[in-house]
Structures are given as C-alpha cells and as structure tokens.
C-alpha cells in the first residue's frame, strides 16, 4: 500500500516507447469492438434481448459495443440486490475496502493505455485527453482509499471524565451511481469507488454513450474479488430506468454527475418519500457550467490567449469546466481576439486514434445538431464569427473549433451551457464590468482571471463566485487532491470530488458513549439534546 497519495503522472507521448504502447493498445481495442455486453446483478449476467448500441462518434458506422437494456423489473431487482448485499458489505473493515481500491488502481495503472484506447473509440478523446481521464481514475481510487483509512481512525472528541466516547463514520446503504459520458472512466470510477470504500453498495447505471468503458472498469472490480452484488451493472435508457432506481424506497443516496436538467429532476424525485422508505434520500449532484475566463488590461496576453484556447477546445469543449466565455477588457480586446484566432487555427481536427489530432468529434448526433444550432443562434444574435463555424457529420460528428466575438452579455450563447467547441468572446468596459458579466449566470463551476495586479486577483477571490477559481492559468485540468472539484449554484450541490470532505457525503457519523465505572448518574445535564 502506498503511504501517501501522489497524482498519477501523465504520459509523455513524444517518447517513442510510450507512443508505441498506445498504438498497440489501440490495435488491441479495435479487435475487441462490436461485442455484446450483459447486465450484471448479484454477479449474474443477464441478457434481455433489447439492446442499445454505443458507437464511435468519429466513425459513426463503427459499433463499440451492444448493451442489453434493463427492464423496470430488473432495475428494481438491482436495487433490492444492493440492499441485501449491504448487510454484509457494510460490516467489512475499512482496511479491506481500501485495499480493494488500491488493487484496482494498480491494475488500472498496468493497463492504462488499454483503458485510454477504449475511450478514444467510445467518446473520441485524443491521446492526451484519454490518458488524463485514466490517470484521474487511478487517482480517485488511490485518494479515496487513503481517505477512508483517515476516517477509520479514532476521531478527535472533547474529553470528559468518566466516559469513553467514540465517533465512527458508517455507510448509508444503497447508492445509485449515475455518471455522464464525458469523463466516462474517471467520474464513473470516482463516484463508484467513493461509494464502495465507505461501505455502501451500488447500482451503477452508466451513460448510454459510454457503457463499454464502464463495463471494462466493472470487470476490474470482479477481478480484484469484490463480492457479487456490491456493485450491480445496469445499462438502459436514463429516462426509462433512471427514474425507477432513483424512486426506489430502498435507495439511500444518489451520486449523480450530468446536466442541470437531469440533476434537478433527480433531486426533485428523490425528495418525494415513497411507501416503506425509512430515510430522507441524499443527493450528490454535480451539474453543468458556463465557465468564464476574464482577461484584465494588465494581463500577459499570450498566456491568456493560450489558456483560453486550451480551456475552450480541449476535448471539443465537452468538459464541464470548459471555457465557454472569454470576457476581455476593452483595452486589450482586439489583441486578444487576434491571438485567440491565431491559436485556434492551429488546432488539428481529426480521428482521435491519430496521435497528431488535437480535437475530434463531438459525442453524438443530438449534440452535433444542438451545438450547430447554438453557432447559428450566436450569429443571429449579432455575434461575429472569427474562427470555425463549419461542421461535417458525414463520417463522424465533427465541428470546427468556433469563436464568436462581440457577444452581448445576456445573449443565449453567453448564458446557456453549449457543451461543445464554441467560445463566446465578450467585451467588458473595465475589470468591474468583467466581474459583473462573469457572475451573471445561474452556474458557478470554474473560472479564471488573467492579471498581473495582485489587488485584482484578491478581488476575484472574494467576488468571482465559482467553486474552482484559477489565476493566470486555464480553467480546466483539476487534479485529484490538488484541486478538489465542484461548483456552486446550479452547478451542483457544492460537493468537492477529489477533496477531503467528499467521502463524508457517503457516510453518517455515529457517536457511542460508554460510562466508565459502576455508578450511573441521571442528574440533569443542561444540554439541548
Ligand atoms: P445528462 O444529464 O444527459 O446524463 C447524465 C446521466 O444521467 C447519464 O448517465 C444519463 O443516462 C442519466 N439520466 C438521463 N435521464 C435520467 C433520469 N431521468 N433519471 C436518472 N438518470 C438519468 O448529462 P451528460 O450529457 O451525460 O453529461 C454532460 C453534462 O454533465 C454537462 O452538463 C456537464 O457540464 C455535466 N458535467 C458536470 C461535471 C461536474 O463535475 N460538475 C462533470 C462532468 C460533466
């Protein structure tokens, strides 16, 4: 067991040995595409005959895998199974549960390129983006294993004479894990790992756009000996089985990451007490963003332009942390626009299997249509197209990195989450105005400020209301343990994945107090509880 958490290093693909290893992994994964995958409940592999297909977004005729869709009855069975398994799993020691995560992290590390290669095919991640996703999954497993061991030691309590007091963190019950497709390994594995290491059991319902990578992770759980029924693998349409597992009276908590719309729906449904339900369900919801980078007039403009372009177009802008608004002080507006356009022109859009590609296809046809609709909307609302704007949906869902300048505060593309490669550039009259525009959104996930003035940065620290605020660097790229991640307002329930508070969301604290000595006093204690 590693003694201290350290982030998994990212792979340097300019080293030929590393590039060759990735090419070999891509060839191996290619040979395994198109298989059929079952649901797994209590360790039993189940086929329903009704399947959904996961397809390669960059090569739409390529089927990554076919997945049997759960029925309502199977969805209910998955929660019942997790509930039954909770009796035994909740009594395993924290050390044993942490050890499972350490072993998963170790296997993930050994096979990292294979996991990355599958994401390259299933969600069109470029090599470095897929590698980052796999590294983050390793980090989540290791970090939460260490965290569980930290919570398992005697917790500090104020001492009083005559009593021996203990506070233990105990699990909650059945956790429904609902991840998005955009970090289909890291976020899926992170929420699942947090749930099981704290002693909960899980119904894992992966996104229909990325079930193959979730199944590959689930196989690791089986390989390291996680008992059947601790995690149950349930594919199916979110709309059809999602409500069933959220509503089930035996569901104790829901760990969700995805859009604001679905997050709010889950929160609302979970609040309704069902017949036979014994608890108030807990909802951990990490939702969307409308993230902004502010450039002040005293900023290093080259650094700012580079940070904007990296944050806007890394993984096609399909990160919740992606910069979708660049808010620029009028005094440097034209210079920044030139520099952003120049850097955007260098982005190479192509197949994600090609190591030279720096941006690839968006996730699916629906996203392709919606994102193109936002580009049209941006132009029709007075925006000036300064880069991109084109798209090609023939072979895959390719959209050029698109920059729309002169976007007015309050315009549709300045307010709504686009979740694609579209950057709105907004002119601010000064720094006051820039901060006001940045905060004028229902979201509050990430943000960045480029400035060389300490006073401006200090002001942003107080006034820029986002969960993850960065200075003089891009607004994407949070590392587990280093940058605990999660947003405010409509970006979620204010949790911080990869932070020291996170596991508390999956546990409750039980206090036990024992009288030392024979006599028991019943005298009034003067406390409120
Ligand atoms: P989504 O909301 O469409 O889907 C998320 C998950 O919910 C999927 O597994 C989906 O199948 C499931 N789902 C759909 N309907 C459901 C229902 N009725 N009941 C239960 N589950 C249901 O989101 P997405 O397109 O997969 O992901 C993109 C979104 O995720 C963006 O808004 C992005 O900002 C957000 N995101 C947020 C974070 C964060 O940390 N805050 C991280 C990554 C992604």
Residue 349 has pLDDT above 90, yes or no: yes
To test ligand 1's pocket by mutation, which of 133, 258, 419 has the most ligand atoms within 8 angstroms of CB?
258
Residue 520 has pLDDT above 60, yes or no: no
Secondary element (H or E) of residue 432: helix 431-439
Average pLDDT of the residues in 238-252: 95
3-state helix/strand/coil string of 134-183: HHHHHHHHHHHHHHHHHHHCCCCCCCCCCEEEEEEEEECCEEEEECCCCC
Identify the pLDDT of residue 444: 98
CA of 492 to the centre of ligand 1 (A): 12
Nearest ligand 1 atom, CA 183: 43
Task: Give 508: exposed, middle or buried? Use CB within 10 Å, 0-12, 13-18, 19+.
Answer: middle
Weakest mean pLDDT among 42-46, 148-152, 238-242: 238-242
Helix axes 211-223, 112-123, angle to 10 degrees: 160
The contacts of residue 303 (CB under 8 Å, 6+ apart) are: 450, 472
Residue 240 pLDDT class (50, 70, 90 cuts): confident
**Catalytic, out of 320, 414, 416, 475:** 320
Identify the pLDDT of residue 139: 98
Contact 389, 373 (CB under 8 A): no
State pLDDT tens for residues 355-403. 999 999 999 999 999 999 999 999 999 999 999 999 999 999 999 999 9
Residue 521 has pLDDT above 60, yes or no: no
519 compared with 131, residue with greater pLDDT: 131
Strand partners, 55: 63
Identify the pLDDT of residue 362: 98
Task: Give 16: exposed, middle or buried? Use CB within 10 Å, 0-12, 13-18, 19+.
Answer: exposed
Helix axes 301-313, 333-345, angle to 10 degrees: 50
Ligand 1 contact via 245 beta carbon (within 6 Å): no
- Shortest-distance Cα residue to atom 11 of ligand 1: 238
Secondary element (H or E) of residue 285: strand 282-286
Nearest ligand 1 atom, CA 269: 19
Identify the pLDDT of residue 239: 85
CA of 99 to the centre of ligand 1 (A): 30
Residue 519 pLDDT class (50, 70, 90 cuts): low
Ligand 1 contact via 499 beta carbon (within 6 Å): no
Strand partners, 514: 164
- How many CB atoms sit inside 10 A of residue 436's CB? 15
Residue 525 has pLDDT above 70, yes or no: no
**End-to-end alpha carbon distance in the chain:** 42
Ligand 1 contact via 320 beta carbon (within 6 Å): yes
| Whether residue 320 lies in the annotated active site | yes
Q: Residue 491 has which token pair?
A: 């970006």
Separation of CA 315 from chain center: 14
Residue 524 pLDDT class (50, 70, 90 cuts): low
Average pLDDT of the residues in 476-493: 98
Q: Residue 311 has which token pair?
A: 């944050």
Among 290, 293, 285, 250, which residue's Cα sits nearest to residue 268?
A: 285
Residue 333 has pLDDT above 90, yes or no: yes
Question: Could you give the residue ranges of the DSSP H alpha helices within 237-277?
Answer: 243-247, 260-270
In Å, how far are 350, 351, 395 from 391, measured between CA atoms?
12, 14, 11
- Shortest-distance Cα residue to atom 34 of ligand 1: 288
- Shortest-distance Cα residue to atom 30 of ligand 1: 258
State pLDDT tens for residues 460-471. 999 999 999 999
Q: Residue 97 has which token pair?
A: 């549960």
Ligand 1 contact via 258 beta carbon (within 6 Å): yes
To test ligand 1's pocket by mutation, which of 136, 254, 262 has the most ligand atoms within 8 angstroms of CB?
262
CA of 490 to the centre of ligand 1 (A): 13
Nearest ligand 1 atom, CA 180: 26
Residue 11 pLDDT class (50, 70, 90 cuts): very high
Weakest mean pLDDT among 14-23, 33-42, 236-245, 265-274: 236-245
CA distance 171 to 85: 13
Separation of CA 434 from chain center: 28
Strand partners, 291: 323
| pTM as predicted | 0.97
Ligand 1 contact via 287 beta carbon (within 6 Å): yes
Average pLDDT of the residues in 328-334: 98
User: What is the chain's mean pLDDT, rounded?
Assistant: 97
CA of 258 to the centre of ligand 1 (A): 2
- Shortest-distance Cα residue to atom 13 of ligand 1: 238
Among 349, 355, 348, which residue's Cα sits nearest to residue 16?
A: 355
In Å, how far are 1, 249, 344, 356, 461 from 330, measured between CA atoms?
54, 55, 21, 36, 22
- Shortest-distance Cα residue to atom 19 of ligand 1: 242
Ligand 1 contact via 266 beta carbon (within 6 Å): yes
Ligand 1 contact via 69 beta carbon (within 6 Å): no
Residue 238 has pLDDT above 90, yes or no: no
- Shortest-distance Cα residue to atom 23 of ligand 1: 258
Sequence length of the chain is 529
CA distance 509 to 137: 27
Ligand 1 contact via 416 beta carbon (within 6 Å): no
To test ligand 1's pocket by mutation, which of 180, 418, 444, 467 has the most ligand atoms within 8 angstroms of CB?
180
Residue 30 has pLDDT above 70, yes or no: yes
Ligand 1 contact via 315 beta carbon (within 6 Å): no
The contacts of residue 316 (CB under 8 Å, 6+ apart) are: 124, 359, 360, 361, 362, 399, 420, 421
CA angle 20, 22, 25 (to 5 degrees): 110
Identify the pLDDT of residue 463: 98
Ligand 1 contact via 310 beta carbon (within 6 Å): no
Contact 98, 149 (CB under 8 A): yes
Identify the pLDDT of residue 517: 81
Tokens 């506070």 label which residue?
Answer: 167
Contact 125, 315 (CB under 8 A): yes
State pLDDT tens for residues 117-143. 999 999 999 999 999 999 999 999 999
- How many CB atoms sit inside 10 A of residue 523's CB? 5
Residue 221 has pLDDT above 80, yes or no: yes
Residue 1 has pLDDT above 80, yes or no: no
Nearest ligand 1 atom, CA 181: 26
Residue 442 pLDDT class (50, 70, 90 cuts): very high
- Shortest-distance Cα residue to atom 43 of ligand 1: 320
| Whether residue 44 lies in the annotated active site | no
Ligand 1 contact via 191 beta carbon (within 6 Å): no
DSSP string over 453-490: -HHHHHHHHHH---SEEEESS-S--PPTTTS-B--EET
Secondary element (H or E) of residue 413: helix 412-415
Instruction: Quote the percentage of the chain above a pLDDT of 90.
Output: 96
Q: Characterise 225 by phi-psi region: left (phi > 0), alpha (psi -120 to 50), beta (else).
A: left
CA distance 465 to 368: 31
Q: Residue 24 has which token pair?
A: 């070999």
Ligand 1 contact via 182 beta carbon (within 6 Å): yes
Question: Could you give the residue ranges of the DSSP H alpha helices within 248-320?
Answer: 260-270, 301-313
CA of 260 to the centre of ligand 1 (A): 8
**Catalytic, out of 142, 147, 286, 318:** 286
Measured torsion, CA atoms of residues 203, 69, 131, 326, in degrees rounded to the nearest 10: -90
CA distance 196 to 217: 14
């Amino acid at each position: 067991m590693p003694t201290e958490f350290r982030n998994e290093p990212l792979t340097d693909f300019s080293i030929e040995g590393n590039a060759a290893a990735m090419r070999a992994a891509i060839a191996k994964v290619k040979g395994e595409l198109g298989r059929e995958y079952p649901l797994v409940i209590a360790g039993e592999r189940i086929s329903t005959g009704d399947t959904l297909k996961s397809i390669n977004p960059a090569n739409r005729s390529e089927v990554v895998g076919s997945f049997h869709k759960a029925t309502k009855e199977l969805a209910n069975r998955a929660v019942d199974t997790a509930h039954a398994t909770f009796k035994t799993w909740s009594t395993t020691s924290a050390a044993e549960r942490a050890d499972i995560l350490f072993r998963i992290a170790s296997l993930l590390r050994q096979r990292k390129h294979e996991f990355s290669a599958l994401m390259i095919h299933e969600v069109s991640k470029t090599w470095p983006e897929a590698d980052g996703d796999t590294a983050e999954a390793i980090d989540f497993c290791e970090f939460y294993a260490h965290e569980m061991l930290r919570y398992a030691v005697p917790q500090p309590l104020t001492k009083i004479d005559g009593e021996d007091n203990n506070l233990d963190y105990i699990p909650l019950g059945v956790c429904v894990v609902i991840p998005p497709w955009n970090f289909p390994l890291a976020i899926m594995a992170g929420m699942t790992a947090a749930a099981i290491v704290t002693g909960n059991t899980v119904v894992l319902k992966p996104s229909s756009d990325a079930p193959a990578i979730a199944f590959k992770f689930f196989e690791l759980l089986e390989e390291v000996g996680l008992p059947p029924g601790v995690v149950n693998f349930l594919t199916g349409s979110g709309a059809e089985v999602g409500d069933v597992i959220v509503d089930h009276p035996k569901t104790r908590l829901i760990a969700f990451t995805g859009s604001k719309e679905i997050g709010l729906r889950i929160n609302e449904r979970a609040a309704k007490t069902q017949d036979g339900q014994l608890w108030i369900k807990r909802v951990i919801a990490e939702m969307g963003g409308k993230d902004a980078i502010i450039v002040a007039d005293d900023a290093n403009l080259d650094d700012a332009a580079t940070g904007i372009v990296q944050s806007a177009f890394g993984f096609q802008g399909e990160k919740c942390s992606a910069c979708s608004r660049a808010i620029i002080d009028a005094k440097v507006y034209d210079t920044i626009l030139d520099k952003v356009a120049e850097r955007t022109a260098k982005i190479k859009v192509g197949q994600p299997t090609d190591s030279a590609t720096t941006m690839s296809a968006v996730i699916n046809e629906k996203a392709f249509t919606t994102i193109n609709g936002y580009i049209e909307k941006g132009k029709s609302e007075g925006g000036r197209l300064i880069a991109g704007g084109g798209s090609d949906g023939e072979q895959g869902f390719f959209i050029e990195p698109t920059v729309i300048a002169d976007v007015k505060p309050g315009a549709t593309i300045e307010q709504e989450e686009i979740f694609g490669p579209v950057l709105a550039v907004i002119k601010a009259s000064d720094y006051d105005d820039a901060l006001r525009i940045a905060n004028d959104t229902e979201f509050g996930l990430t943000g960045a400020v480029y400035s060389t003035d300490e006073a401006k940065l200090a002001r942003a620290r107080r006034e820029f209301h986002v969960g993850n605020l960065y200075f003089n660097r891009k607004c994407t790229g949070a590392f587990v343990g280093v940058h605990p991640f999660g947003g405010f307002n409509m970006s979620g329930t204010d949790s911080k994945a990869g932070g020291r508070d996170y596991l508390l969301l999956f546990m409750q604290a039980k206090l036990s107090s024992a009288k030392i000595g024979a006599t028991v006093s019943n005298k009034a204690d003067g406390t409120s509880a």
